[in-house]
């Protein structure tokens, strides 16, 4: 269990107690931090990972720490069959309730995919590399959203949150990632427009440099360089991402939908 920030010790946001929350990629980084904040608020949390062992470990840890019901769900979100099975298990566990879906699962950041310019890719690499990233970041979110909507619509209530990135708004590098994350924002906007009348809010986060995942692969010098991209002069933390997630999921954000909340330390000042 990560050290719980004192700022969140007394966290209690309206609308989250007893809410059923599914977080894909919920056992590491910002997803894991969000799971802890939702549990602190009294939510019932379903944790997804591709690894059954990791999902079970994280679920047991979360239940022990916060005493809330927790469901481990092993599934690869890029597989529509596995997503269907995951949501069937969730529906049985929650009696067909789902208030919050956080689409946090993402294709791991790979140096070669990040650094290689488009014109240097072979035709086969263009097909394979872009498909790999899109299958998780975009198609996985689409599969999960469709299944989540079927559970949310009968209750006329729900919140879906997509995790995108600032390159989706401004461009950067790593074209396979940028393309998938930008398409994710298009999906968010369509769903927010189509399902708002049913009481379902759909939003996204556009993340800048967050100290998790690929952060650990960087040299100390590169970490310092990237920290200085932000006017705040540092990396963001998974807890700060998690705080934005639980805010958008809560009733405090009840009049917010179709919005991309930028969490980047001030790089994109919009």
Is-catalytic flag, 165?
yes
Q: Are 133 and 176 in contact (CB under 8 A)?
A: yes
Give how far Cα 77 sits from Cα of 245, 249, 266, Å: 20, 21, 31
Indicate the helix (H) or strand (E) that contains 126: helix 123-134
The catalytic residue among 30, 177, 195, 212 is: 177
The catalytic residue among 107, 145, 181, 212 is: 181
Is-catalytic flag, 143?
no
Greatest CA separation for the chain: 53
- Per DSSP (E only), the strands in the chain are 20-24, 44-49, 70-74, 100-103, 158-165, 200-207, 260-263
- Alpha-carbon distance of 160 to 7, in angstroms, equals 25
Q: How many CA atoms lie within 13 A of 65 on its CB side?
A: 21
- Alpha-carbon distance of 93 to 4, in angstroms, equals 28
The catalytic residue among 165, 192, 212, 250 is: 165
Dihedrals phi, psi of 5, to nearest 5 degrees? -65, 135
Is-catalytic flag, 78?
no
- Alpha-carbon distance of 72 to 51, in angstroms, equals 10
Which residues carry out catalysis?
165, 177, 181
């Amino acid at each position: 269990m990560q050290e719980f920030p004192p700022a969140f010790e007394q966290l209690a946001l309206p609308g989250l107690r007893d809410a059923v929350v599914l977080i894909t990629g919920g056992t590491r980084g910002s997803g894991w931090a969000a799971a802890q904040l939702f549990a602190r608020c009294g939510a019932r949390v379903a944790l997804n990972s591709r690894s059954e062992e990791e999902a079970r470990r994280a679920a047991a840890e979360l239940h022990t720490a916060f005493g809330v019901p927790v469901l481990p769900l092993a599934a690869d979100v890029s597989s529509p069959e596995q997503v269907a099975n995951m949501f069937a298990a969730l529906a049985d566990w929650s009696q067909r309730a789902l208030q919050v879906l956080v689409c946090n699962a993402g294709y791991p950041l790979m140096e070669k995919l990040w650094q290689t310019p488009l014109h240097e890719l072979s035709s086969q690499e263009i097909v394979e590399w872009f498909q790999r990233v899109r299958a998780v970041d975009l198609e996985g979110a689409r599969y999960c959203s469709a299944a989540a909507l079927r559970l949310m619509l009968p209750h006329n209530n729900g919140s879906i949150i997509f995790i995108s990135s600032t390159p989706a708004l401004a461009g950067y590098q790593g074209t396979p990632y940028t393309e998938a994350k930008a398409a994710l924002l298009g999906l968010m906007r369509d769903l927010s427009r189509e399902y708002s009348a049913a009481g379902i809010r759909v939003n996204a986060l556009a993340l800048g440099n967050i100290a998790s995942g690929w952060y650990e692969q960087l040299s100390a010098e590169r970490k310092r360089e990237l920290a200085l991209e932000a006017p705040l002069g540092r990396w963001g933390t998974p807890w700060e991402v998690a705080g934005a997630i639980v805010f958008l999921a809560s009733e405090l954000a009840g009049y917010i939908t179709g919005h991309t909340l930028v969490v980047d330390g001030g790089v994109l000042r919009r």
